[in-house]
Structure 1
Amino acid sequence: MKFRYDINALRAIAVIGVILYHFKVPYFDGGFSGVDIFYVISGYLMTKIVIEAILKNTFTFRDFYSKRIRRIVPALIFMVLTLLIVDFFILLPSDYQYVAKNSTASLLFVSNILYWQSSGYFDPSSELNPLLHTWSLSVEWQFYLILPIILVLLNKVFKFNKHHYLLFFIISSVIIFIITRYFTRINPQASFYLLPTRSWEMIAGGIAYLAEDHLKRYKKGIAFIGYTVLAACLIFLNSNLNWPDIYTLIPVFGTFLVILANQNQFSFLKLYAFQYLGKMSYSLYLWHWPVFVTANYLGIQSSFTFTVLLLIISFILAYVSYTYIESIRFQSSKYVVATVVVACTSTLVLSSYSLNEGIFKPRTVQISTYTANHRDERKKQFNTGCCFISSYFAGKGIDKERCLELEPNKKNFLLIGDSHAAHLSQSLRELFERKGIHLNQASATGCLPLINADGNNDCVDIINYIYKDYIKNNADLIDGIIISGNWIGEVENKEQLIKDLRNTINYLQELNLKAVIVGQNETYTMPFESIAALEYEHNKILRTNYIDDDSYILNDLLKQEFKDLYIDIYNSKSVKHLSGEDVIPYMSDENHFTKYGADLTASKIISQKPMKKVLAQHYRGNRMNTQGFNKGSRSTL
């Protein structure tokens, strides 16, 4: 195959975009689309290799798969094993086992399936998984496995030529894209991670190969348009968009145009630095993310110097990988496969046993595994599956009978929100019971508790029902409303958040209802139980290194905007982050309280002036009217 400077340049553009996006460099919010560029390139190359061999009667599965193994696997093994050796001395035992488990999935090219299955709301943060980026390699490998089987079968059964293949590819890509758009709306995690909804991007690359002979004119202009589109993608797209979806067409189309044009006359394409980046793009992609995650785990705070240092380290490791591993031409894939078997056996053992536990103090390990050892308590704390609906309970509404019944002889308060309402629910309920107050709860993940909710369909249905049905029809029976959410998700849309919160408060005031807003709590860049464990291990305050500044900025803004309604729960230095002898951490993950932390926060909530004001008001309405409502509320939402 004649060397194509344009394809190598596309690799360079893709990997630069991904790295700058992951390293949070300003103006590269769309850098994640570099993965989609890689997909189109892979689709083009694999389709070209397979179809040309089929039409020449030289294709063999053994040869095709053997070459893919020798090309992809050695550098991946090198990265995984190096990471496991280094992390053995850095990560807490539970975190190390998590990485070892992901290593097995990465080496077997099923990490995309694993991450899809473990993409629940309370699963480990993606930014603490140094092998998260291998999901895209798994998707590509699965495509490599299936593509030649389909193409060979089509040729054997229907005697396909290039024109037949082109028609098949076009029809397939259109059908799969339509299905993808639908699937992204009903199951975004699965759509993001799995091959079926990503395959159309690689098929688009195949179309570029099959159609390139038909393009005779305007090649330079078409290539220029393609590069312009890709540049716009890296700058103007953002991760808040549904993906893959209609916007995914943009990077796919841009890459398609560049490949289709096959134009190698632009002077910038042959720049040595640019071409070298393209050649080492695979190793650079493999190494940049583990470097970033390791730095985060060590609490190295983000800055310009930090970013430059990580880039240098990533390039050094990528150079070593490309020069001494990736560039080796292995004569047989047998030794590579044997190494994978040994590596997977090792990672399975490492993921099953806490082999580095002896490095740490016993109490350190106890703190770091608090959440894993108290899952049932956590469910009770959140009222999970009943009054708190997460993605795991998709399609199931809140239980009206248990969560929304009004007590005739008590004050009735309603707690509405997402998981940041749910993690306070048990503690607030216990405090309110002592005051003779009944607390109802409606909480769900996937949207904020606003009058015009936007986000996950199940969440939006619940929030809309509460505001537009339950509250509206029972306004005279509700004494107060507590609105709580993880507001930090809207840090990029602060003005809209303020507007939506004002509209929500105004709506409640029109119904003559008193409401308070529970503020943004502090959030961290890694689970707080791990931070607390490291603090205990080193007898040193480390948490300030892991604070997410956005939570402070947003809390300060909302506090100024909603003074009389806002309850500030942002943690002060006076709060004890570990309980006494039980050494229970104040938080479990990056932003949710444990029961210990929720108890402290609930006490803080009811002691503040906005809540005291609502608690002091008199009973509303005739409680006997609730009897009719209760009889009609036995079904789930």
Structure 2
Amino acid sequence: MSSHNYLPHIDGLRAIAVLSVFMFHLNFNIFSGGFVGVDVFFVISGYLITGGIYKELLAGRFSLQAFYQRRIKRILPAYFTMVIVVLILSALLYPFMQLKTVAGTAAMSSVFLANIRFAVKESNYFAADVHEDPLLNLWSLGVEEQFYLVIPLLFLLLWRFMPSWFKPAMWLMFILSIVSCLLVMYFGQPKSAFYFPHLRAWEFLAGSILAVAGTAAAKQNLKANVLSVLGLLLVAVPVFTYTQETLFPGVAALPVVLGTVLVLHYGVNGGVAGQILKSAPFIFIGRISYSLYLWHWPVIVFWRYVRFNEILPIDNIGIILASFMLAILSWHFVEMEFRFRVASASYTYYLYTLAGSVIVGAFATFIVFTNGAKNYFNKEANSMIRDSGTLSRFADTQLWVVNNDTEFTYAQLTGLDKNLLIPIGDQTAEKSFLIWGDSHAVSLLPGIDSLARVNNKGGYLLNRQTGISNDRIKYYKHVTQWLQEQQNIEQVFLIQRWSVRLESESQRQFMVNFCNNLKNLGLKTTIFQNVPEFSVDPIVFQARVKILNSFGDFRNSPMVDTTTYKKLTQPYGKLFKKLAKDAAFKILPTDHVFLKNGMYHAMNNEGELLYYDTHHLSPEGSRLLIKSLSDKVF
């Protein structure tokens, strides 16, 4: 295999890889496993790079300097162009917190360590917050660049000093890498296996082993036809069947890697798979695949940002067209210019690399160390963003949310410890109710306290984090035992973020048992539904609107549709319906006051914030909700 012989079926394979990733990032459900396209790229890279090195080693003309020059010309011009454009756009469009995040990724990408940044941060590749970073896709290029830096030198040393070990060493590294990957996946931290190069190296090395295997390109016959089609299927099936819940890479990556190897070897001389891959559309997309991979993700992120995550089919068409347009421009005017038309002395390529790295690194580092350039870009919008609006004190007592307090003793309950049981409502009335929950209970305190005072009711807030969880059984037993001894308490308010607290079957069963215990104590139990949740912090949203309004008119309130809210409550919906049929339980709605014209809003008509983050009510929102339920709460 030669680094200079053009193999059109590889461009076709690149097209499949990049389109799979692109469609996955567009959230097309049918491409639920499209993220495996990156693994196809890894195998192709290992095959092409190792094949070129091996041929030059055999001819006695391999040069590390020439190798790195080719990699610089191939990768870095388009790479740094995209990063610089993204940094500039982020500075113009983002509030300081988001800009600081992007700059942190850019700084690490300037030294080709974006993957390490995400690994150290223990970032879940599929998490929503990570998907707001327009440079997220650089993690895979970080892995590739680290492979390119290490493998050529290692191969050269093996060839010079241990030539008989050249091929066996590849197998040894392949085995060590895949075993390490599997151990980390199933007995360690799966996120590490996703990002760290040594745990992904086996995918590159699968291509490397094929490249030096010494087998001629497969002739076109029935066997080659069948195996090339099988290879395509081994890639395609995961693209359409894997999901974000698939434990990956690990064992799940094996079919993709094997399938890519089969297509690389058996698809070269045609057959059904070869004819598909060598068709004009696939070859064209394959040729621009690098630039398309670079640009598609920033386009998606910025488009969603400007559209406030409300993406319609027409938006997806726009994203696709814009991505392809930028990819073609990048391929023609950047990739091709530097790769084939720019002729310079060898040392200038390293100067280009150093210049790009310094420019990106310096600008990004400046942004990080000035707290997102808070006082340099979008100053007015940044001034609107304050710290979390969560309550920290109530009735002169520090709330548990400050230090995330969880532990308490039965003796503290019986002694009516004022730091554990905070008086709520009318201070002169008998304590007749207990508020029990997580941070959602804290966010409803202003409303419940106001209504309790109006109704001459008094009660307690259990001032501890008491979310539904099996590891909280001891504390639940403390409280139920204490309630059994209280003569005046007749009502318990359960207020939690049920979308998280009741997402598993074990949590729901815990809730059933707990509610039965309260019922057996003869207590009335009032459960507040989950409030609607938003994808954007309302305060950050206001800052975003302020920034974007300088480019045009944008709406000024975060919204979420009723379908999304139904999905949020669906996991525990049956449980709440069952409880509502029992007279001992009352399920109170929490969404109605935020609903207007079929959408839930995080601000009222006067522009007041009803939420202080994506899922906690502000004091104004709390009072509005409780006032609307005034005849149902007590």
TM-score bracket relative to the smaller structure: 0.7 to 0.9
C-alpha contact (below 8 Å) 2:158/2:166 kept by paired residues: no
Percent identity over paired residues: 24
Residue aligning to 2:489: none
1:133 matched to which residue of 2? Answer: 137
Question: Given the superposition, is the C-alpha separation of residues 426 and 312 from structure 1 closer, same or farther in structure 2, using an over 3 Å criterion?
Answer: closer
1:35 equivalenced with 2:38 (yes/no): yes
- Compute the displacement of 1:111 (Å): 1.5
> Equivalent of 1:482, from 485, 494, 505?
494
- Report what 2:312 is aligned to: 303
Q: Which residue pairs with 2:231 in the alignment?
A: 226
C-alpha change, 1:181 and 1:95, in structure 2 (3 Å) is closer
- Structure-2 separation of matches of 1:41 and 1:238: 23
Q: Which whole-Å CA distance do the structure 1 matches of 2:630 and 2:392 have between them?
A: 34
Deviation at 1:35, TM superposition (A): 1.3
Q: Report the secondary structure of 1:32's partner residue.
A: helix
Q: Which residue of 1 aligns with 2:300?
A: 292
Q: CA deviation at 1:293?
A: 1.0
| Cα distance in 2 between the residues matched to 1:160 and 1:414 | 74
Is 2:246 aligned against 1:246?
A: no
Who is 2:287 aligned against?
Answer: 279
Query: Residues 509 and 343 from structure 1, CA distance in 2 versus in 1: closer, same or farther, beyond 3 angstroms?
Result: closer
Q: Say whether the 8 Å CA contact 1:526–1:546 is kept in structure 2.
A: no
Aligned residues: 563
Superposition deviation, residue 312 in structure 1: 0.4
1:360-416 CA distances to partner (integer Å, 9 max, x unpaired)? 563x32223545x99999xx87736644xxxxxxxxxxx533899644557896856
Distance in structure 2 (CA, Å) of the matches to 1:580 and 1:271? 57
Of 522, 526, 529 in structure 1, the residue corresponding to residue 536 of structure 2 is 526
The residue that corresponds to 1:439 in the other structure is 462
Task: Supply the AA of the counterpart residue of 1:439.
Answer: L
After TM superposition, the score normalised by the length of structure 1 is: 0.75
| AA at the equivalent of 1:209 | A
Selected match of 2:206 from 180, 204, 208: 204
Which residue is 1:62 aligned to?
Answer: 65
Counterpart CA distance in 2 for 1:120 and 1:255 is 27
Shift of 1:317: 0.5
1:408-419 matches, cutoff 5 A: 415=436
- Residue 232 of structure 1 and its aligned partner are, at CA, apart by 1.2
Confirm or deny that 1:7 pairs with 2:10: yes
1:632 alignment partner in structure 2? none
**Does residue 572 in structure 1 map to residue 594 in structure 2?**
yes
Larger mean Cα displacement after TM superposition, 550-559 or 223-232:
550-559
Residue 580 (structure 1) shift:
14
Q: 1:498 to 1:239 in 2, by over 3 A?
A: closer
1:344 corresponds to: 361
Q: Which runs of 5+ in 2 are unaligned?
A: 422-430, 485-491, 581-585
Deviations along 1:59-83, whole A, 9 cap, x unmatched?
Answer: 3332222221221110011112223
What residue is the counterpart of 1:464 in the other structure?
Answer: 470
Amino acid at match of 1:401: F
SS at match of 1:132: coil
Contact 1:403/1:440 (CA < 8 Å) preserved in 2? Answer: no
Describe the superposition over 1:176-231 as per-residue Cα deviations: whole angstroms up to 9, x where unpaired.
Answer: 23223235xx4343333222332232223223334472996822212111111211
Q: Distance in 2 between matches of 1:187 and 1:549?
A: 36
SS of 1:437's equivalent in the other structure is strand
- CA gap 1:502/1:264 in 2 versus in 1, 3 angstroms: same
CA separation of 1:334/1:55 partners in 2, compared to 1, >3 Å: closer, same or farther?
Answer: same
| Conservation of the 8 A alpha-carbon contact between 1:192 and 1:244 | yes
Matched, 1:145 2:153: no
Deviations 1:303-324 (A, max 9, x none): 1111011100110000000011
**Residues 436 and 549 (structure 1), Cα distance of their counterparts in 2 relative to 1, 3 Å cut:** closer
Seen in structure 2, the aligned counterparts of structure 1 residues 166 and 534 have a Cα distance that, compared at 3 Å, is: closer
- Aligned equivalents of 2:185, 2:367: Cα separation in 1: 39
Q: If you compute each CA radius of gyration, which structure gives the higher value, 1 or 2? A: 2
Name the counterpart of 1:554. Answer: 567
Structure 2 residue 184 is the aligned partner of structure 1 residue 180: yes
**1:23 is matched with which residue?**
26
1:383 is aligned to 2:401:
yes
Q: Structure 1: 5+ residue runs without aligned partners?
A: 388-398, 450-462, 491-496, 614-637
Q: Is the 8 A contact 1:415 1:425 kept in 2?
A: no
The answer on whether the counterparts of 1:222 and 1:258 sit within 8 Å (CA) in structure 2 is yes
Q: TM-score, normalised by structure 2?
A: 0.76
Q: Is the contact made by 2:193 and 2:249 (CA closer than 8 Å) also made in structure 1? A: yes
Q: Shift in Å at residue 273 of structure 1? A: 1.0
Matching residue of 2:487:
none
> Secondary structure of the residue that 2:494 maps to in structure 1?
strand
Aligned to 1:79: 82
Aligned counterparts, 1:300-339, within 5 A: 301-328=310-337, 329=339, 330-331=342-343, 332=346, 333-339=349-355
Shift of 1:607: 7.8
Tell me how far apart the structure 2 counterparts of residues 118 and 229 of structure 1 sit (CA, whole Å). 32
